[in-house]
Amino acid sequence: MYQAELTGVLGTPVAENPTGVMQEAAFAALGLNWRYLTIEVQPEDLGKAMDGVRAMGFQGLNLTIPHKVAVIPFLDKLSREAELIGAVNTVRREGKLLIGENTDGRGFLRGLREDAGVDPRGLNAVLMGAGGAARAIATELILAGLEQLTVVNRSVDRGQKLVEELVEKTGARVRFVEWPSPCLEIGPEVNLLVNATSVGLYPNVEAMPAVELRGASKDIVVCDAVFNPAETMLLRLARAYGLKTLDGLSMLVFQGVIGFEIWTGKAAPEKVMKAALLKEMT
Ligand code: NDP
């Protein structure tokens, strides 16, 4: 009975990754003899690390920067979402097979539904950013039945490439807009605004994406993927206008919740996980 089931995260740098705190709290709350290991792995060692994951029978794994795309050749199968997004942040075991999933966008979506009480079906959304988080969020919003998506990004190439891929793979109504100068003005037709850039991320906590909310609908929901700090300048501004907001902690907690459920097959203790994360981050 001393042998534990193993899960963990591979990345570099990974020391500051808070997911283990959430997962360990959840395992303890359910009395499971499971462990979550936070493991530093250099890019050139990823293949050997994945061999180790197989050899040691890990039940589940998270991948973070810079391994989310590089891990794909070391897996046996991808979920539809991971394939659409082109990146994997969670691996589950099916017998001897390792299956790649992506729970970042699903975590965002679950937070949108459960924390903000919003269903994206039929909505008109503006997404700032075209990196990994934006890819995952855009894909899940489209799969959830969004009416229209506008991707706004600083570098044109990256933004256009994301939009082309989304249109090709999903057939959804998605368009690209280069970030306007001096700022992006949000009009009353927008129902959902999501910051998936890294602007505002610690230590640059005074930075804010160049966006004007004065003309926004009173019913808009303003979301930030940045979770450190939880209250970003963007969310502070939105609240000052009396607008509904959703912070990046929600997405972080729910991607962990989904990972826990995929690995253990049990309902995750969401409140325990969120409390553990909040305690760690304050
Ligand atoms: P990437 O490096 O893949 O993408 C970064 C994005 O931010 C790009 O679109 C980039 O634009 C844009 N950007 C960076 N600096 C600026 C700037 N000064 N002005 C305008 N745009 C800028 O990062 P990720 O997608 O992985 O992460 C993005 C954010 O999401 C991070 O803050 C991360 O912490 C957060 N995140 C949160 C998660 C959660 O669970 N809450 C999960 C995953 C990520 P360009 O293409 O022009 O360079």
CATH topology of domain 5-102+251-281: Rossmann fold (3.40.50)
- Rounded distance from Cα 78 to ligand 1 centre (Å): 24
Q: What is the mean pLDDT of residues 99-113?
A: 97
Contact status, residue 250 vs residue 244, Cβ threshold 8 Å? no
Q: Which residue from 198, 206, 232, 249 has its CB within 8 A of the most atoms of ligand 1, so it is best to mutate?
A: 198
Res 282 pLDDT > 80:
no
Which residue shows structure tokens 């930075």? 207
Task: Check pocket membership of 248 for ligand 1, CB cut-off 6 A.
Answer: yes
Closest Cα to residue 27, out of 70, 68, 59? 59
Decide if 5-102+251-281 and 106-246 have a common fold.
yes
Task: Check pocket membership of 268 for ligand 1, CB cut-off 6 A.
Answer: no
Closest Cα to residue 275, out of 245, 8, 256? 256
pLDDT at 71: 98
Percent of the chain clearing pLDDT 70 (strictly above):
100
Determine whether 266 is an active site residue: no
The architecture that CATH gives domain 106-246 is: 3-Layer(aba) Sandwich (3.40)
Closest Cα to residue 212, out of 173, 172, 182, 248? 182
Structure tokens belonging to residue 154: 């600083």
Res 2 pLDDT > 90:
no
Res 219 pLDDT > 80:
yes
pLDDT at 266: 98
Kindly give, in sequence order, each residue whose CB lies less than 8 Å from that of residue 51, ignoring residues fewer than 6 positions away: none
Task: Check pocket membership of 129 for ligand 1, CB cut-off 6 A.
Answer: yes
Show the DSSP H helices in the chain as ranges.
19-29, 46-55, 80-85, 104-114, 132-143, 156-170, 233-240, 248-264, 270-281
- Rounded distance from Cα 27 to ligand 1 centre (Å): 30
Task: Check pocket membership of 257 for ligand 1, CB cut-off 6 A.
Answer: no
Q: What is the mean pLDDT of residues 221-246?
A: 96
Q: How far apart are CA 224 and CA 245, in angstroms?
A: 8
pLDDT at 1: 72
Domain boundaries, the chain: 5-102+251-281, 106-246
Residue bearing the bigger pLDDT, 132 or 39: 39
Contact status, residue 34 vs residue 62, Cβ threshold 8 Å? no
Under the banding of pLDDT at 50, 70 and 90, the label for residue 112 is very high
Closest Cα to residue 180, out of 159, 200, 154? 154
pLDDT in tens, 64-103: 999 999 999 999 999 999 999 999 999 999 999 999 999 9
pLDDT in tens, 186-215: 999 999 999 999 999 989 999 999 999 999
pLDDT at 16: 86
Helix then strand then coil, in percent of the chain rounded to 5, is 40, 20, 40
pLDDT in tens, 26-71: 999 999 999 999 999 999 999 999 999 999 999 999 999 999 999 9
Atom of ligand 1 nearest to the CA of 132: 25
pLDDT in tens, 238-276: 999 999 999 999 999 999 999 999 999 999 999 999 999
